[in-house]
Amino acid sequence: MRELFSEIHWRGHIITLSQLGICLILLISATYYYFDAQSTLSGARALNDSQRFANDEAESFEKLLEENIDEYRELARTGSIGEPRRLQWLETLRKVSDRYHIPAIDFTLDGSKVVEQGADPYWHPEVGLMATDMKIIMQLSHEGDLYNLLTALHDEAPGLFSVEECRLRWLTTYSDEFELSRLQGECNLRWYTLMDVTESWGESSQ
């Protein structure tokens, strides 16, 4: 075999070998670009299929909304759908406490956040839901004040809330500033607001 290779006149085939080498390089490059183009094409097809699915889903939801547009608009008007109406909750709370002559009231309102799976019993995979925690501490003339305040919030404040916890207790000290104010109520509320899905339909259809 070595003698066979030694008898080959390589110098006479330099041009041929060079051409063969160039052809191999071009073949390898063409193969690389072919598979790269195939990968890009597959990605584009997957993206197109995903966009088509999103468009079909948006059209289906839009048709459903058209059939129930009056109810949807009413829920949006009353604050159950859309951005959390934090300022209106606080204004309603102040107004109600003045109406029922609550001797003293204090509250904290946490930031609104999207409900996550396993963290809230009202989580649903197809419904975006915002939750906002509120804590109310109030001095009461009598226990009925607590019921009146929560009922008025339910009827007048925009949005929906659940009473997570409430408790009444007698204070060990008496304040001369407020009459009959040794009864204190503490409540933890959680406000819920449905996210407006129609805002994302326009983005999906583009």
Question: Is residue 38 one of the residues assigned to a domain?
Answer: yes
pLDDT at 205: 45
Residue 150: name the closest of 181, 188, 122 by CA: 188
- pLDDT tens series, the chain, 206 aa: 555 445 545 455 555 656 666 666 666 666 666 566 667 767 667 776 677 766 666 677 667 667 777 887 888 888 888 899 999 999 999 999 999 988 888 999 999 999 888 888 888 887 888 999 999 999 888 888 899 999 999 999 998 999 999 998 887 766 555 555 678 899 999 999 988 877 655 554 44
For the chain, what is the domain count? 2
Are both 62 and 106 inside the same structural domain?
A: no
Are both 142 and 183 inside the same structural domain? yes
The CATH number covering residue 103 comes to 3.30.70.60
The verdict on residue 79 lying in a domain is no
Compute the distance between CA of residue 106 and CA of residue 184 in angstroms, rounded to an integer.
Answer: 11
Domain containing 100: what range?
86-194
| Whether 142 and 182 share a structural domain | yes
131 close to 71: Cβ distance less than 8 angstroms: no
pLDDT at residue 16, rounded to an integer: 60
Same domain, 145 and 177: yes
Closest alpha carbon to 132 in 115, 110, 154, 116: 110
Query: Which pLDDT belongs to residue 88?
Result: 94
- Residue 192, both tokens: 């819920």
6: tokens are: 């030694």
Please report whether residue 200 resides in a domain: no
Residue 35 sits in the same domain as residue 101: no
